[in-house]
Every structure is written in structure tokens, then in C-alpha cells.
Structure 1
Amino acid sequence: MTDCDRFLETLASDRLDEAARDHARGCAVCGPLLPEQPPAVAGTPAPSLEAVRSRALEALRTTPLRPWTRDAARIALLQTAVALVVTVLLGTRNWSSPMAHHMALAVVGAVLLVVVILGSVVALAPGRRSPRAMLALIPVVPLLLVLSGNGVHTATTMRSALPCAVTVVLTAVLPLAVGLALLRGMALDAARTAALALSAAATGLFALHWKCPDGSASHLMAYHALPWLALALLAIPLRRALPTESHVP
């Protein structure tokens, strides 16, 4: 990655540091893009934008166009398949429990499935408003999980409760990896990354929703909702560590 590429990446992510600014001040290509660039000194010609224009045209010419809807549909299908397969493998012990609130389980299960299917589509949509709307799920999903719980605390030790958290994490590995790979084709955006991770991690929540018979609020918050949220936070530094192929917002 060249210094110009690093400058463009930090500019797109609003993380301009002093090193990037120093590079831009001495670069005829990046200089005109530097925010709050002081006016040119009298008698000194301003940097030409022709180099920037040529570079942008070359990038457009050599970069194949790929509609975002195709990627969104593929990851939505992948996440749906993962959620359903894991659900079948784990079983529906919670649904079969005599303590289960079937109507609440069905409604919340439908909401989780919508998050799994459409969450990635919203997260990959162009612009910045749609991904940020997904972040509203952060307080909503844990509340729905608690409301649909049966209130019975069966996993009385950490050893018996920990498999639920492990299930959330392991189920999200494949969808999250694919999602992060797709995000390389867009400008670095923490909100978009978190939104996509929330959707990917919802696959495990959906499977546990039908399997886990522990419906206590403490268990649902600590071993279901907390790992779901932790994956969203973890995805942000993981995305920053990956190279960006396109700075399209």
C-alpha cells in the first residue's frame, strides 16, 4: 500500500493523523484533497487536479462494477442457511418445554429471522443512514429475548451456560468472515461493520432461541445477548485491519 493509498483510506474513514497530513502537504496528488488546506501563497501555483482526475478515471476504468444487491442477496442466503442448519442440528428443546411461551417465542423468532435475512441487506446498502438504523437493534433484541423467556433458570453453573455463548460465536464465524470480505469493497465505516456483524451473529441467537431451555433474564443477557453485542464490537477492529479495495461510501 502506497502513502497515497494510506492517505485516501484515512481520509475516507475520518481518521486523518499528522503523518497523513504531512504526506498530503508534500504530495501534488493528495494535497488538493486535504481538508482545511490553507490558501496557496501568492506567486505559488496551486497543485493541479489533473493528476487526481487521471487517477480517479483510471480506477473507474479498471474496477469492474458489481451491484451491491448481488452481494447482499448472497450473504443473506448464507446467513439464512447457517441459521436454519444450526437450528436443526441443535433441536427445539425450548419450544418443546412445557414452560415455553409459544406465542412469544414465535414472534421473537420471526424478528430474529428478519434480522438474519434483511440485516445484511440493510448493512450493505449504499449511504450511511441505513447501516446506522440497524444499530437501533442493540437495545431491542436483548429486550425481546428476555420477554420471550420462560423465566426458569436451568443453567446454574458457568460450565453449563457457557455453551450458549460459544454457539453464538461459532455460528457467526462464517457469515462474519464473508461479510468482512465484502466490506473491503466499501469505505471503512464502523457503523456499517457493526450492523453487518449484528446480523451475522443473529444466526446463533436464532438457533439458541429454539434450543436453550434457560429462559432467565440473567442467562439470556449474559450468554445470548452479550456475545452477540461483543461480536459487533470485535468486528470493527477486524475490519480496520483489512485492506480497503474501494473507498465508495
Structure 2
Amino acid sequence: MEQIFQNVIINRQEINSIEFEKESIEIPLYPGGEQTFEILVTNYGSPTHIHLSVSEELKGQITFLRDNPYVLQKEYVSAVARISQEGRVLTKGHIYITAGYGSKKKGFPVQLGKVEAKPQELSKVETAKWDENTEELKPSRPSVAEPVKKASRPRTGSGSGFGGISSSVLRNFKGGFPSTSGKRTRKGTGQNERLPLALALGGFLLLIFLFFLYFILPAGLQFSVSFTQALLFSILFVTCITYILLKIMEEG
């Protein structure tokens, strides 16, 4: 049974208008394959002829059995899509519908083919040979690994010579700067932790000062505060208080 890939609607919005039910279609084919499909043309106006064509990329690959059908209400237009054995795996183009004797032309994208190559299935004989090869390789794995383990033992097992000298040198080198680097990092981290707390306290005090200043100033010198500014001040005030309380709880 032929599959309907697209529904073309004409004369619905206005005279000679062309609409597509799908924005694009995909025709999955491998090189050497062929598929027949249908395009349904639905006419909402008076009976008319339409013309079907393809772009340059799809010429010779998509063929319409009737490229100039006469559409009364509904008409099924059959088409054949094929890819030659030496053809491209994936081709992109357009199918065009022309109505009103050439006055209106509109197309939709078409993807012919598949992105991935055709998978080659292993035959029963090949799978049996593969199983035999894997079984033959299984017993050989321990014998290959044994000399590697034996050769690696004397290298790791020697506790004297260059290994002992290098380990003592590394220990002395690592133990050369523990106290000074630790003090410096602690001072740096302490300063980094105090800076946000100082900023929070400063912002908190500044907000309290502005709050009292608003009520202390006389009417002529008072400044106006909008709703947005009041909301921002409230958020900043709550944030500062929350951060200060959390720091106090951590210190305790």
C-alpha cells in the first residue's frame, strides 16, 4: 500500500493559495532502493489543474506518474523515489506545487536517503568463526600477562639503591616549606572571610543610618523614595541581617 507523505491544500485561504500539512518530509532509502508514495491534494475551491515538479537536486530521483493532475476536490498523486546503486546516500531538495496556471508556486523540503550507511549483517558462518577465534584467544591471555607481572616485581620490590635515595630526597623536598605556606594560606583565607562580613556590617549600618535620616530631616530636606527603591533597600537589609546572623552562628 502506498504511503501518503504530504497533504497539499489549495484554495482554502484565498484563490490559488497553497498550504502544506507537513513542513518537510523524509523518504528513507538506501542506494539501490526504490519507494512509491502518494501526495494528497485537497481543493477547497473550483476545479483546477496543478503542476508538480522537483528541484535540480532531486531530478531523476523523484518522478511523478501525473505531474499535471486535474483536482476536483481530492486527488491522489503517485510518485516514485529511487536512489541508484552509485548514487548519494543523502540528498536534500524541494518538491514544488504550482497553481493558478503558473501564478502561484510554493515548495516544501524533502530529504531523500539516510544519514547512516546500510548495516552489514554477519552471516551464521561468520559469527561461528568469530566465536571460534574468541575461544582460541581466551587461554592465551594469562600466558601473555605472566611475564609482564614477573618483570614488574623486581622494579617495585627494590627498597635500596636509587629508589631509596629518590624517596628520601622527595620527602626532604616536601617537608621544606610546610610552616610558612600554611601560615600564609591561613592569613589569606582569614582576610577573605572577613571581607564579606565587613561589607555586610557596613551595608547594615548604612541602611539604618539612611532609615533614621529619613525621619530626622525636616520636611523641606526629605528625599523621596519610590516603591522600587524601598523594595531594593528591604531586600538588601534582609540579606545583610541574614548573612551577619549566619556568621555569628558559625563563630558560636
The interval holding the TM-score normalised by the smaller chain is under 0.3
- Report the structure number with the largest CA radius of gyration: 2
Q: TM-score, normalised by structure 1?
A: 0.19
Q: TM-score, normalised by structure 2?
A: 0.19
Question: Which structure has greater strand proportion?
Answer: 2
Which fold has the larger relative contact order, with Cα–Cα distance below 8 Å and residues 6 or more apart in sequence? Answer: 1
Question: Which structure has greater helix proportion?
Answer: 1
